[in-house]
Structure 1
Amino acid sequence: MSDLSSTTFTRAPSWAASLPGELQTPCFIVSERGIVDNLHATARACGGVERLMPHVKTHRARWIVERLMREGVTAFKAATVAEVAMVLEAGAKHVLWAYPTVNSAHIHTVLALARAHPAAQVDALLDSAAGVGAWRRATNEAPPANLALLIDLDAGMGRTGAPMTVATLQLARTLAALGCFGGWHVYDGHIHDLDTATRRARVDAIVRQVAVLTRAADAEGLSTKLVAGGSYTFDLWPDTLADFVSPGSWTYSSAQHDLELPALGWTPSAYVLATVISRNGATATLDAGSKAISPDKPMAERFRWDGKIVMMSEEHVVVENTDLAVGDRVMLLPRHACTTAYLYPSARVLTTEGSWEVREQLGSRR
């Protein structure tokens, strides 16, 4: 079996050489030091760790939430009720459930979590009169004191969000009358231009629209608190407008962001360890199929490879290669770390102290 550190074409990081020999593969491998370094780089890019509301969907791991709090992060964004619970159980004092819904079961679960953690601020999104009605009914018009509802604005992505017009102020007025209006949320995930100047121009156009709306809100005494941005734009939102910015992919980085956002200095810190289980001429078969890595990406782009990804099934992937032998282990860098992390209920973590530990994460729990 070859040494992992010599498998240069898969760009195995130097720290992978200390991996234990006996590991079931595929296995999710994480560097804690890489996460901490990425946090510091992200904080520098946006003007300070106090502005960060990182999205936990990237990792879905309580231990990472706890580590980020030790580094000064005070607020977190979550996509699912399980993530909200995880963040609160980790001891966080501020979490935003960033998923506008009218599903009463989910709403009641988040309300129960807010009541169970009265010292924490629990925020949630809505984007319609129907959403206001769902929360009004669920709270019996008496929301918990630590609950705030933010209005999600559509910045052009076309997925969720109310229009960025003064007409949307009516939603804010209604929530203010209920005593739970907490401000605004803008996700601009449709902006991922490689050219920074182009991204900046597109963000500036949204900033101008949001500023008009928040000035009108301020004139009526309504909250102007704003959570904005994503991984490609968080560093472009002015601190005079956005109280929090909300990147997610920085935690682990990925094959995509390593190439497309090099100026941010993010270091890939999560990999899938795979084993070569068969060879056939100029191809090798690994034990890391669609259940193991980036299932939301086209097959040819699911991880970084120096040749072609030929075919993939649930448990196998066939790649072009002439150097690997059966039994060799390789480190695969995911194209999308978020949808790789949720495939694993635990990760093998190289701690900042230099030891290897198995640490739990939510996996696919919603």
Structure 2
Amino acid sequence: MTRSNMINPIDADLVPAVATPCFVVMEDRVLHNLAVTAQACGGVERLMPHVKTHRAAWLVSLLLAHGVLAFKASTLAEVEMVLSAGGTRVTWAFPTVNPQNIGRFIELARAFPEAELTGLIDSREGLDVWTRLLEGASPSIRLRVDLDPGMGRTGVAMDEAALELARGVARLGRLAGWHVYDGHIRGAYDERKAEVEKLAGTLEVLQSHLREEGIDVDVVGACSYTFDLWPRSVMRYVSPGTWVYSNAQHLRELSHHKWVAAGFVLTTVVSTRNGTSTLDAGSKAISPDKPLRQRFEGAGEIVMMNEEHTVIRSDALHTGDRLLLVPEHTCTTAYLYSNALVRSLDGHWEYRDQLGNERSVVALTR
């Protein structure tokens, strides 16, 4: 059995005749993934899904309707998308020091006064900017201290420096707690579990120091490889995101979660020759941020990819055939499309809008 045959095969003939390449989503599969993810972490109320993985307002509404209470976002456009879709608890997981970006976040709090918006800081400089701009701002805006658990991207060291930042935010009356993204943790289950236990111990030391000072806060964090390993007593909210659509990588490496592929790229075979087939989906249709031969499953070995075409090794396909490909990285593939062809729960097909590569806040009025 080839690797591509192991990745939740779906018959492309189930999809209506549409222009290709096209991003395709199966709503029933999204809800399956929600159910098994919620079970794995101990309850849907514990989930704070990261919307960067889909950037679709209709999915925010769907998750709200099925018990999800809070969301995490990377960009201001994503924050506004969640708020416009009815979300009332959003964490902006981006510890910026840019006054213009922070100012727009504060404007969103003013436009959506019933929502609780939370930003991140990981430096004294960031705290100074937020302190200045938050004067007179909505009390619904809170801050989390972003901790670096070893990933080396953002976050303050998990030591006295973190406590000093937390105390500074507490003096503002806006401390929500900690944020811990451990996306660097990989490997076998026992290895991941040991890493999480070590981090949980360090985090508990920080928490105990704050509690001794009368400061009681919670924690948001984790990733797809660790969300089920963090005890609820240490981390209140977990934020895996890729589970919504899943992807080829996680279907292989995290098969115990029973996720299924829910987001695909529909492509057409436009040419065949000498044991190869050419697809009309290239790097502008499937994210090229993985090594060439690992960019998708659902077809033969990838020989080459350019902007509009991919050549695969296959002598079983015919010109005109259609394929549903499972991206290796669905998050950055969804980002390439401003809409998706969705099979709804009742079996109907319809196009639904998503942010695609939109990064700016479109409107601040309601």
Matched with 2:173 is 179
* Residue identity in the other structure for 1:295: P
Contact 1:102 1:134 in 2 (8 A): yes
* Residue identity in the other structure for 2:47: L
Alignment CA distance shift 1:249-1:333 (3 Å): same
TM-score w.r.t. length of structure 2: 0.94
Which shows bigger deviation, 313-322 or 9-18? 9-18
Contact 2:175 2:217 in 1 (8 A): no
Alignment CA distance shift 1:308-1:18 (3 Å): closer
> In the aligned structure 2, how far is the partner of 1:55 from the partner of 1:267?
18
Shift, 1:179, TM fit: 1.7
* Residue identity in the other structure for 1:90: A
Show the 5 A alignment for 1:139-150.
Answer: 139=134, 141-150=135-144
Show the 5 A alignment for 1:1-366.
Answer: 13-14=9-10, 16-21=12-17, 23-139=18-134, 141-193=135-187, 195-305=188-298, 307-366=300-359
* Residue identity in the other structure for 2:48: M
What SS does structure 1 have at the residue aligned with 2:147?
Answer: strand
Shift, 1:309, TM fit: 0.7
Contact 2:12 2:266 in 1 (8 A): no
1:253-288 per-residue CA deviation (whole Å, 9 max, x = no partner) reads: 111111110111111111000011112211111111
Alignment CA distance shift 1:91-1:130 (3 Å): same
Shift, 1:217, TM fit: 1.1
> In the aligned structure 2, how far is the partner of 1:9 from the partner of 1:68?
30
Matched with 2:363 is none
Shift, 1:289, TM fit: 0.5
Alignment CA distance shift 1:328-1:15 (3 Å): closer
What SS does structure 1 have at the residue aligned with 2:243?
Answer: coil
Matched with 1:5 is none
* Residue identity in the other structure for 1:262: S
Contact 1:10 1:332 in 2 (8 A): no
What SS does structure 2 have at the residue aligned with 1:96?
Answer: strand
Which shows bigger deviation, 213-222 or 87-96? 213-222
Count of matched residue pairs: 356
Large movers: runs of 4+ above 3 Å = 8-17
Matched with 2:362 is none
Shift, 1:298, TM fit: 1.4
Shift, 1:144, TM fit: 1.5
> In the aligned structure 1, how far is the partner of 2:167 from the partner of 2:159?
14
> In the aligned structure 2, how far is the partner of 1:71 from the partner of 1:12?
24
* Residue identity in the other structure for 2:141: L
TM-score w.r.t. length of structure 1: 0.94
Instruction: Name stretches of at least 5 consecutive residues in structure 1 with no aligned partner.
Output: 1-7
> In the aligned structure 1, how far is the partner of 2:6 from the partner of 2:253?
18
Instruction: Name stretches of at least 5 consecutive residues in structure 2 with no aligned partner.
Output: 360-366
Matched with 1:4 is none
What SS does structure 2 have at the residue aligned with 1:332?
Answer: strand
> In the aligned structure 2, how far is the partner of 1:222 from the partner of 1:11?
47
> In the aligned structure 2, how far is the partner of 1:142 from the partner of 1:235?
39
Contact 1:143 1:180 in 2 (8 A): no
> In the aligned structure 2, how far is the partner of 1:210 from the partner of 1:180?
20
> In the aligned structure 1, how far is the partner of 2:38 from the partner of 2:230?
13
> In the aligned structure 2, how far is the partner of 1:97 from the partner of 1:218?
25
* Residue identity in the other structure for 2:13: A
> In the aligned structure 1, how far is the partner of 2:301 from the partner of 2:170?
56
> In the aligned structure 1, how far is the partner of 2:54 from the partner of 2:113?
26
> In the aligned structure 2, how far is the partner of 1:218 from the partner of 1:105?
34
Identity among equivalent pairs (%) = 51
What SS does structure 1 have at the residue aligned with 2:220?
Answer: strand
Shift, 1:206, TM fit: 0.5
Task: Kindly report the root-mean-square deviation, in angstroms, between the aligned alpha carbons of the 2 structures.
Answer: 1.4
Shift, 1:152, TM fit: 0.2
Alignment CA distance shift 1:163-1:9 (3 Å): closer
